[in-house]
Amino acid sequence: MSDSPLLQRLSANLESVRSRIESAAARSGRVSAAVQLVAVTKYAPWPAVLGLIALGHRVFGENRPQQLTERAALVLAETPQSPVDWHLIGQLQRNKVRAVLPSAALIHSIDSWRLLERVDQLAAELALTSQVLLQVNISGEDSKGGFSPDELKTCLTQAAALKHVDIRGLMTMAPLTEEEAVVRGVFRGLRELRDNAATSAMPLAELSMGMSGDFEIAIEEGATLVRVGSALFDGCETLS
Ligand SMILES: *Cc1c(COP(=O)(O)O)cnc(C)c1O
């Protein structure tokens, strides 16, 4: 399998994304080890997921809870010697929380107080602590989910009482635009919001921002988690 066209392509893509992460980190005086690459597999064919695992990658993101749970179980069955972390990056409905909690190492997409409360309640029932990020709508676009900056402050105050969620940081999505200044402004806005909201009890160390089209800008603005799909799986659809 080591010479398969699929693995060759994946390996080249991975190397290219990693070197772009390194350059962006270096440009902004950061160490690339401070940036975790989340391989977003929502459109990736299953052999490509296994291929990336074979290449040593261990952190994956899915935007649909059901596909996350299914793929987490499959990976566990097929490669039990290579445990991977699955991150939920897409919208989570309250009735899907129970099913996804045991498989989700990190939920990036907590977008309301009601959802956070629900996660806390079910995590308590399952005797675990859920690792979560709060999604913030920095750009203010109607089409984007997430807390407004004001709602975020309220939520963080109330969240001090929750015992089964560990709020590790914030997540945002940039608007779809070619204007780099707009994208950069959104990422910088998330970092500044975090800097203002962080406390010693809740340092909010993680910033999940940046996708295939804008992860370098996000890293320059402080991203600790970049969610990259198409740049990793480009060209893999027809290979095996
Ligand atoms: C699909 C998706 C990504 C990855 O997008 P690419 O442009 O393919 O890198 C990142 N974050 C979220 C929330 C997504 O849904």
pLDDT tens-place string over residues 3-56: 799 999 999 999 999 999 999 999 999 999 999 999 999 999 999 999 999 999
CB of 226 closer than 6 angstroms to any ligand 1 atom: no
Q: Is residue 17 part of a domain?
A: yes
Confidence (pLDDT) at 195: 98
**pLDDT tens-digit readout, 63-74:** 999 999 999 999
Degrees, nearest 5: CA angle 130-131-135: 115
Residue 196 contacts by C-beta under 8 Å, 6 or more apart in sequence? none
CB of 229 closer than 6 angstroms to any ligand 1 atom: yes
SS (H, E, C) the chain: CCCCHHHHHHHHHHHHHHHHHHHHHHHCCCCHHHCEEEEECCCCCHHHHHHHHHCCCCEEEECCHHHHHHHHHHHHHHCCCCCCEEEECCCCCHHHHHHHHHHCCEEEEECCHHHHHHHHHHHHHCCCCEEEEEEECCCCCCCCCCECHHHHHHHHHHHCCCCCEEEEEEECCCCCCCCHHHHHHHHHHHHHHHHHHCCCCCCCCEEECCCCCCHHHHHHCCCCEEEECHHHHCCCCCCC
Give, for ligand 1, the residue of 227, 228, 234 to mutate: max count of ligand atoms closer than 8 Å to Cβ. 227
- Return the residue matching tokens 């320059």: 220
Q: In the predicted model, is pLDDT for residue 144 greater than 90?
A: no
Nearest CA to ligand 1 atom 10: 227
Ligand 1 center–CA 143 separation, angstroms: 16
Q: Is residue 56 part of a domain?
A: yes
Q: Which amino acid is at 208?
A: S
Mean per-residue pLDDT, 177-182: 94
Residue (of 25, 13, 61, 36) closest to 216 by Cα position: 25
Q: Is residue 62 part of a domain?
A: yes
Q: Is residue 240 part of a domain?
A: no
Which numbered atom of ligand 1 lies nearest the CA of 212?
Answer: 9
Nearest CA to ligand 1 atom 7: 212
Q: CA 63 → CA 12, 45, 87, 172, 225, distances in Å?
A: 25, 15, 8, 14, 15
CB of 40 closer than 6 angstroms to any ligand 1 atom: yes
CB of 63 closer than 6 angstroms to any ligand 1 atom: yes
Confidence (pLDDT) at 142: 84
Percent of the chain past pLDDT 90, that is, above it, reads 91
Specify the CATH number for the domain of residue 170. Answer: 3.20.20.10
- Return the residue matching tokens 């979560």: 132
Which numbered atom of ligand 1 lies nearest the CA of 230?
Answer: 8
State how far the Cα of 88 lies from the Cα of 39, in Å rounded to an integer. 11
State how far the Cα of 145 lies from the Cα of 135, in Å rounded to an integer. 8
Mean pLDDT lowest among 6-15, 74-83, 107-116, 217-226:
74-83
Residue ranges making up the domain that contains 120: 5-235
Q: Is residue 63 part of a domain?
A: yes
Q: Is residue 230 part of a domain?
A: yes
Ligand 1 center–CA 153 separation, angstroms: 26
Q: How many domains does the chain have?
A: 1
Give, for ligand 1, the residue of 14, 36, 41, 42 to mutate: max count of ligand atoms closer than 8 Å to Cβ. 42
Q: Is residue 105 part of a domain?
A: yes
Q: Is residue 24 part of a domain?
A: yes
State how far the Cα of 171 lies from the Cα of 210, in Å rounded to an integer. 9
Nearest CA to ligand 1 atom 6: 229
CB of 209 closer than 6 angstroms to any ligand 1 atom: no
Q: CA 151 → CA 44, 114, 147, 204, distances in Å?
A: 35, 12, 5, 16
